[in-house]
Amino acid sequence: MPVNLKPPVAAQLLPVPGVALGIARAGIRKANRRDLLLIRLDEGAAVAGVFTQNRFCAAPVIVCREHLEGTGIRALVVNTGIANAGTGAPGMQAARDTCAAAARLLGCAPQQVLPFSTGVIMEPLPVERLVAGLPACVADLRESNWDAAAEAIMTTDTLPKAVSRKVSLGGTAVTITGIAKGAGMIRPNMATMLGFVATDASVAQPVLEQLVREAADASFNCITVDGDTSTNDSFMLIASGRAGNAPIADVASEGYAALKEAVTAVAAELAQAIVRDGEGATKFITVAVQGGRDIAECKAVGYAIGHSPLVKTAFFASDPNLGRILAAIGNAGIADLDVARLKLWLDEVLVAENGGPAASYREGEGARVMKQEEITVRIDLARGDAQATVWTCDFSYDYVKINADYRS
C-alpha cells in the first residue's frame, strides 16, 4: 500500500486554460484500461522539458528532443503499457507515426507533436492500436480532465498522482496543475517516470527552459526507489499564456520567483508521491544531508543511502542496524571525508558522532523510530554550508514480486 498517499480529488484539480486533455482505451497492452492520453495546447503555448540521461533512451525521447528544437508545439501524446525502448528503427518509425496521426486530427504539423511512452522495454509498440484510439481522445478533450489523465499514464502505480496550485503574479491569478507516474525503475537523472506540469502563466521560452531544469533538480532529481534510471523518463513544463499576467521575459521579471516556487512545489509533491507509491514500499524516508562543500556531494551521500539495498531492507524490517547507513555514507565517493566530525540522526535521535556510536544513543530509541511509516535520516558532514535532500523508500518482499511478475 502507498505510504500516506491518497488519490487526488477530481474537484480539487484546477483546469489550466489553453490545455485540454483527452483519454482513450486503446488496448496498447491490456484491454479495457485507460492507456492513451492526448494533450492539446492552444496556439502560442511554450513547452520545455528535461529527459533521461540513459544512453539507451526510448524512441519517443529522441523524437521529443528533435521536435523541441522547433517552435509551436501543439500536442503531446502519451501511451502506457509499452515503452517503445530498445525497439530500433521500427520504434523510431512508430514514434513518428504517432506524431503524424495526431497532427492529422488536430490540423498541425507532425513536428508540433511530442510523443511519450512508458511500460515494457524491448517490445514493439502496436502503433495501429494507438492511432485507432486517437479519435476517441480528441472527442474526449476537456480542460477539466486531469484526474482521468493521471490514471491513463499509470503502469505499476497503485494510485494516480496529480496536484494543483494557485499563485498570484503581480496581482494576476495563475493556475498550475500537474500529473506524474512512476513507482519503479526510479532514479531520475535529468528522469519509468513521466511528469507533465502546466500553467496558464505567460512565460518566455528561454525562461521556461531554465525553470523546468531548476524545478526538476529540486524535485524529480531528488528521488530514488531502486536506483535505476529509466529509458523513458521525461518531465515537461507547459505555459499556455492564457492567464493575462505580464509576460515573464527573464528571471529578473516580477513574478518569476513566485512562479518558480509554485511550480517547484507542485513538482516536489508529485515526486514525493512517486516514492510514497514505490513498488512494495512500506516506509517513506527523507535523507537530509547538511554541512557539505557543495550540493553535489550532499546529493551523493543522500543517494548512497537511498540506493543501498542493505539500508533499505533494514528499514523494511524496522531493524536499527545503523552501521549500514555509516557504510553507505563512507561509500559515497568523498575521498577526504573526516568521519570523526560527522554526525548522524534518526529523526531527533543522535545515533553517531566522533566516528562511532553517540554516547547518548540507545538502540531502543533507534528501533522506535525505525517502526514509523515516515522517517528522517539527517547527516551533518561538517565540511561546509551546502545541503540537499533526497527522498526514498524501503525495499520489501513485494518489490521483488512486482518486478518478477512485471510482464505477466
Catalytically active residues are: 192
- Nearest CA to 349 among 373, 367, 331? 367
Give dist(CA 275, CA 285) in Å, integer: 9
Rounded to the nearest 10°, the torsion over CA 325, 327, 331, 336 is: 100
What CA–CA distances, in Å, run from 83 to 78, 79, 174, 200?
10, 8, 34, 30
Residue closest to 214 by CA, chosen among 230, 203, 227, 200? 203
CA 6 to centroid of chain Cα atoms: 17
Residue listed under C-alpha cell 524545478:
215
Query: Which residues of 170-216 form beta strands (DSSP E)?
Result: 172-181, 194-199
The CA-CA-CA angle for residues 327, 328, 329, to 5°, reads: 90
Cβ neighbourhood burial of 87 (10 Å; 0-12, 13-18, 19+): buried
Spatial CA neighbour of 214 closest among 237, 193, 183, 239 = 237
Cβ atoms < 10 Å from Cβ of 9: 10
| List of E strands, 190-297 | 194-199, 234-239, 284-292
Compute the residue count for the chain: 408
CA distance 79 to 184: 17
SS3 call for 95: helix
- Spatial distance between the Cα atoms of 34 and 207, rounded to a whole number of angstroms: 34
What is the Cα–Cα distance from 223 to 389, expressed in whole angstroms? Answer: 9
Please give the order of strands across the beta sheet that includes 113-120: 19-24, 36-41, 75-82, 113-120
